Amino acid sequence: MSNEIVRIDPDKRLSDMVECGGTLHLAGQVAEDMKADMKGQTASILRQIDKLLARGGSDKSKILSAVIYVADMRLKPKMDEAWMEWMDPRHSPARATVEARLGSADTVVEIMCVAAK
């Protein structure tokens, strides 16, 4: 197993994903459509996570942990709906959901995760 660090789509501020030692670390992902509701933004983010994991040679069944940031914990059930529709319950990761002030007023959810390759 290599300890080489590979940065996917880096810019001056962050990389969308970093691979090291067979582990993929995804940056916090936000929805492409900020006008969508909590469930819609979550579904958008999960599609982006699928794409990033595929680029790294992995998939959602190999997610080890996820941290989900929500702007309003009262909206968490809608995020959970999208998550449960997407996640295979046989491969559920360690997960935390945290209420936080996010990057813009329109951002209601952001998801960060770590996956095995």
Contact 17, 8 (CB under 8 A): yes
Cα(first)–Cα(last) distance of the chain, in Å?
11
Provide the mean pLDDT of the chain: 96
pTM, two decimals, is 0.94
All structural domains of the chain, each given as residue ranges with its CATH number in brackets, are 6-116 (3.30.1330.40)
pLDDT in tens, 21-69: 999 999 999 999 999 999 999 999 999 999 999 999 999 999 999 999 9
- The CA radius of gyration of the chain, in Å to the nearest whole number, is 14
